[in-house]
Structure 1
Amino acid sequence: MARRCCRATSRSTAKIYAKLRESFISTIFLFVCLLFPFTTKAGLYTASDQIVILTPDNVDSVLVNSTAAMVVEFYASWCGHCIAFSPVWKSLARDIKEWKPAMDLAAIDCANPVNIPICSGFDVKGYPTLKFFHAYSKADSKGQVFKAFPRDVRGLRHKLIDLMETHKDPWPPACPPLETASKVEIDNFFDTNNVEHLALIFEMSNSYVGREVILDMLQYENLAVRRVLNTEEGLVTKLGVTDFPSCYLYYPIFGIFFQKTCYSVYHCNLGDSVRKMLTCVCVCVCVCHIRSRVYMADLESTLYYSLRVELAAHTVIKGEALSALQEYFTVLVKYFPGRPVVMNLLKSVATWLKDRKDSELSYSSLKDALDNTAEVPNAALPDSVRWVGCQGSKPHFRGYPCGMWTLFHVLTVQAKEAASKDPQEVIQAMRLYVYYFFGCRECATHFENMAMESMSQVGTWITPVLWLWSRHNQVNNRLAGAPSEDPRFPKIQWPPPELCPSCHGVKPTGEHTWQQEEVLAFLHTHFSSEHLLSDYLEEEGQLLSRQKESLVARQNQEAKRGTERRARDTMSELLPGQEEVKEEEEEEEEEDEEEEEGIKAGGPRQPHRKPSVVGLKLRPVQDEIVDLDSFVDHHYKAKALRAAAAMSSRVRTRTLQRQEEPRLRASLEQGTRLGLGLEPVEPDDLLGQRNMLQKRILTGQYMGSEEEGALEMYPRLNKRQWMSLLSVGFSRLDISLCVILYFLSSTCLLAMYLFFKNRLQLRRTKVALP
């Protein structure tokens, strides 16, 4: 009994000691917390956030005469906006931790009574306030205030870069130059810089990629990064740069440049000797291609290819295809989160399609509407393709199919956010567009089969967003390993765990499963309009100016064609029956100098056309008739008047009455039937008849008794009539040349004959000698 009592007493004593020990520790902990209330946390930030906490003791050493630029947030711990902004400031500090040698972030709690004099000294009157302090700032510097600063990490990065470039001398020693490099500097770079590698970032003037890479690579030794604009034609031509932005890594040991575009990482898998260096560049340069983001440039490129390339294959659109096109434009107008300049044009085209009453539509008229020939103000569509997130490792990978899937995902999410009454509105428009217009017909068939199988479920137990996501993964599963798969962007079940870890789950059996609620939340965030990136977009002003230039050029071309058409109509009215002659004259660009001199002297113009002597059929002589009029008017007018008086004794008198005209017309028709190339002429007076007779005489085409009298009128022409009949359209110069050539050839043949005859006689004489 004594032992049991002793044991019971020892146990109760141990419990008492344990309770006393716990109460003592709790008392000590409470006393420490009450004694040192600010040691646990200072304001909204701690040193573990990689942010410098400013106090009266260190403010001068941090901000005055510092070798790095400083960005300070003045906040109040009780301020709701400051509390909401604090996660962004912490994320920014983690994101630019590589910039620390050149730039660092700091914060100070102005709600702390100890810090009130400091905040008042920097003229801080509201919270939160951001101020930028240049390197080597003086003690009286108040800093540069951020006005309307962005509330996201990416925007703040760009803002910090802009402020860093405002530095003058002295420049922060740890920060390399951020300005662009020239070809002369790059050619002599290794002579003046002690580095082993040089990375060149080729980019547009409004891009931040090059400057971000330069700052991100500050802490890497033996590597220098320089940015080159696309306007530096010497380097761009030398290296054959076609994509902007792009990275070229110069490796002096091999003496070559390795190209790495910003949209893929296919050079990161090279040999071990350069893998480490290229991996660093790939990781940094690929900041421009964040696979977890959606680019507006991809969406606008998809619109360009869809409306200007794919629809252009259909010359005429009618029936159900026209209805599908109208629904496609209706959905785009409702849910496409585009820029105002793009949305204005989409709305104008949609209204134009809706107001049309025709049952069919030609693509040429649709193209006019897309080109904004109606001149709707502040409306334009992109006129080129610029893939960013959908850029493949080679030109034939990704691109338009990736852009079309992205566009469909964005439209379904936007329709969900807009609380569309019809859950199938977007996917039905997509289905019809793919069925009637998508270029890959086999792909269109597969999509239609998927729609027929499961589209009826949309709106009941599955949302359009999840339906399209599941169909997309189904297509990825079918195309995995196909020749169309980009080896650098394999077909996976999306989203991968690194983008959405909570979207993936594991069943009790160990199988993978999708957490659809998490997937839906991720899709709404990923494809929301607020999450779209506007990088690499062409400025609206450039789109509008280029569209205006094309419209002006088109109007000028149409005006020129109209002027030419009116000129042709006027000429045809003034000279009926002379169209063929005018066309031949337009095709003749040069004329013989002799002919021009003859025209200036008043002589007849000789025809350029080759004569047709087969069957002695003469070509139409419209040119000769027109030219001989001027010939007769200039040379034979006086002679014709004198000969008209002498004609009365030899040829019966012709009167000016209209009753004689039928006989003259009959003679002309007779000449036409004989194949002489004569055309009926209706003279109005005696001079007209005489001119007609002179023309017929000059062309050597008269027959009958009346023509004999006319030949007596012009004895000079009668003597040379035989030459006109023999020439059959040849000029006098041609005949003279033929005669001269005939004479020369005869002389040459005669000389050759005499030469060989004498030579033969000499040979016979030599043979006969003993």
Structure 2
Amino acid sequence: MARCCSRATSRFTHEVHKGFSKIPVSTVWMCFCLLFLSAAEAGLYSASDQIILLSKETVEPVLVNSTAALVVEFYASWCGHCISFSPVYRSLARDIAEWKTAVDLAAIDCAERANKRVCNEYQVTGYPTLKFFHAYSKPGALGQSFKGFSRDIMGLRHKIIDKLESHGELWPPACPPLEPISQAELESFFETISVRHLALIFEMNDSYVGREVTLDLLHFENIEVRRVLSTEVGLVTKLGVTDFPSCYLYYPGGNFTKLKVNIEARVFYSYALKRLPGVVRSGKPPPVIKDVHTNSTEEPWRPFNSSRVYMADLESTLHYSLRVELSAHPVIRGQALRALKMYISVLVKYFPGRPIVMNLLKAVNSWLKQSSSEVSYEELSAILDNTAQSPDTALPDGVRWVACQSSQPHLRRYPCGVWTLFHVLTVQAYNNHSTDPEEVLSAMRNYVHSFFGCRQCAEHFENMARESILEVNTLMSAVMWLWSRHNRVNNRLAGALSEDPNFPKIQWPSPDMCPSCHTVKPNGDHRWNNDRVFPFLLSFFSSSSILPDYLESEDHVLEKQRQKHADRQQALQAQKHERKIREAAGSITDPPPSPPAVQEEEEEEVEEEEGPQDEAVANMRQEDGEAAEMETKPTPWSKLEMNVGRRQQRGHGRRSIVGMKMRELPEDIVDLDSFVNQHYKAKALQLAAARVRQRSLQRKEEQEPGPVLGLGLELDVGLGMVGLQPMNERIEQRRKRELTGQYFEEEAELNHRGRWMMSVLSIGFSKVDISLCVILYFLSCMCLLAMYLFFKNRLRLRRVKVSLT
């Protein structure tokens, strides 16, 4: 024992202890065991219980050559004694959670067929059986049985300490020294160990408080804890110690001061020592304690009162919950939809929000009640953003953390806000005399199960609810259940990477915040005074205690919402305009259809030019209209053919009335000119006019002597002088126009057929592809021609040789 203790107090061992405390070995085994949780969780324990779950695959890697001592429970899930002992074992795991790198807890279900052989190898004959395995246990070690162990946490804790002190040479490297310190060792202590604080716990010889506090601060730096027995008269006299136990802080030079605590007990000592200046958890940066500072999120630090709840945190939680977490589910149906309806319904009933926020929650609740078997988040988002612009309805967009702010952007914040929101809802349900004690807890449980982003956290919460939710039968028990489970989570996450050094995970409320909430049992163990805790929770989370600091004004929130809606509408209009431009740009490569306005004007002109004498033409148009109605929607090219056919019919009709009565036909000339200007260029029109004149000469029709004019010029002259020209000249010009119209009709038909052929040939091909095909076709023709000439020449030479022979 003395040799073991001397090794533990050496400088080398101290340094090793500090090094190992930064990397808990048992945590590595915990991660390794997560691979086999599915089989192990079928027993009495789960991963949420801070107990290593063993199986036949993991038992040897965990127990053999471990740097920490282990206590293993061999149990059978069908055993009644094991079932009644399981809550004690879970509580023990939570009680000594800070001891993990020195001693850890594990369990294996011997009722599992796969584990039966393992339990037989370790000579387990009854359940439950507890065995202690020393650090660096060898293969084949059977462990030391706890014979006649007590069924209370304190007795088990003391038994574990006794087993730890029974270690021989292979002391757990992370375990601090547990033996008492003498006055001689104390005088040279600061020469060998450099720490900021040395805590001396004076106690009786049979007390375990000093050793328990030493293990409680195992993972903390800048502090060392030593126990001093009451028999160390020199130190007791020097410091004037009269009470046992009591704690004193000792500094170099012989300076000392008594540690002030409410009750001289283990929990109060541990809490006070962890809050000393410079004392930080191993591997964690020191907390920044300033009234005003900036965090890494580029947001100004908001000073706040840690004993109050802020509405800004609650509204930020709603924003993140409804706009961020739910957005991960494009379609919400089934159990998730029922969970969402329960969640919104509870918020409408018990959330103590501002009028604009409550109006929005009521709108969402009404919409969900009218929904069918599924809803899309896109529709829900429209309700949350109040796209209907209902008056005095809005949920602030964005987060503004106050009491839940953190030193780093990935710490606290939303999880803190969720816990705060749930506590507020349970207290509000109590104050509003809800008829269902589980209403709020069920809504929370279903929401976390369906939507909470941290799936492992959701699993842990579900395990806690499944284990003890049936205990809730009153509104008071609902408030207390949530509080106790929150403390259990804090205990499990203490020291985790997610812990903010500025806001360590503690058992809440702390002794500083609510001294009367803490008391001790007759044996010295800590006990919560529930008679004081419940009134404290009602006061802390009451709606009247929620501070409105740092909130945006309602007018500002509504104005931002209106601006957001206006910006969205403007963006939609811009998208529509952009789409129209793209469609118009894409239609340039397609055959240009005649505009609807032009087509309507042409039809009106045809109707105006119809006279009572043109009954045959009218009947033909009527038949054409009936035929068109029987067909499907015409393509742009079919519309062009119909327009050309109507012009042709109109031209024939005019021939029948030229000799009867002279009429000015400005509409006809204007119509032809508009058609030409829309579909052809001036140069093409000139070429067409020349061809018309050649055709008219070939038909031996008399041409009017004079300069040859372009078609556009002829039309302009005809438009201005038609009433002053002789009859035969006007008839000749009309014939030219008819010939020109026929030519354009033929050209349009040929052009239409050519383009139709090209469109058929180019289906799925680009212009580059068609060009390459034409080039390859040309090259193949040239190749064939070359081959033909080669063989023809070869045949000619052969004939010459034959003739010579």
* TM-score, with structure 2 as normaliser: 0.40
- Relative contact order (alpha carbons < 8 A, sep ≥ 6): 1 or 2 greater? 2
